[in-house]
Amino acid sequence: MSNDKGFKIGVVDWKIGKTGDPGSFAVAKKFGLDGVQVSLAPEKDHIPLMQKAVQKKFLNESKKHNVAITSLAIGALNGVPYKSSPVAEKWVSDSIDVCKALKVKNVLLAFFGPIAEIQGDHKGIDEVVKRLKKVAPKAEAAGVVLGLESWLSAWETKDILDRVGSPAVKMYYDVGNSHKMGYDIYEEIRWLGRESICEFHAKDYKNIFGKGKVNFPAVRAAMDDIGYRGWIQIEGKTPLGLEESYRQNERYLRKIFPPKV
């Protein structure tokens, strides 16, 4: 497969010590990255990014450093579970408005931690499906995609997507999480196909990329097979320190996922 549209390499703000902080763009620029996945970072029932003045700060810093806002993430759902909290349900709905204001398409919904996990929680999954069905029309109208990231396999996640039945709900694919769970990353990507994956996290729980357990050339081959081009967000280990680890990870990924293909 060959076309001019290739890959862009970003970073998640929480891994560079800038959760929900417009200072993340300067750090990403320093590390040679193209963009930042920005945390919604709600404060109790208050979401700073709902304010136009705060949105303007992010947009200005993005423009100043020529570093894109790639997508949003709601990591706070790990402590305030989407499957049970009315506040979490509101956060997800509000995140769609923030996406529109920041002109980004994807928002990651997290399902990790002892109170937020949905693996093996059939009642919790039923409630997640119910809530996603309710909010999906709003996301569709806004051109926003809600990406589910959890410990579930591709097949289990796809079952949720099928039950919701909306193009606005997809899987946010984290290669490191899938490897940690013993799933076949490369088979899962091909099986899901482009229509079920919104974006990717590049992660390896063991080491910097290329020296760990995830076979990134095989990830690229699977992406080629489904026609994926776009953002890959680094959420990596930092055994060499933050800056050097991210610089090496960026250089390694560029060789496999170039900007033009």
Task: Kindly list the domain boundaries of the chain, sorted by start residue.
Answer: 8-256
- DSSP for 85-127 reads -HHHHHHHHHHHHHHHHHT--EEEEE--STTT--TT-HHHHHH
CB atoms within 10 A of CB 4: 8
pLDDT given for residue 4 in this prediction: 57
pLDDT one-digit tens code per residue, 98-144: 999 999 999 999 999 999 999 999 999 999 999 999 999 999 999 99
> For the chain (length 261 residues), average pLDDT per consecutive 10?
75 98 98 98 90 98 98 98 97 98 98 97 98 98 98 98 98 98 98 98 96 98 98 96 97 97 87
Q: 8-256 — its CATH code?
A: 3.20.20.150
Q: What are 172's two structure tokens?
A: 């946010």
Q: CA triplet 191, 192, 193: central angle to 5 degrees?
A: 95
pLDDT given for residue 35 in this prediction: 98
Give this prediction's pTM. Answer: 0.96
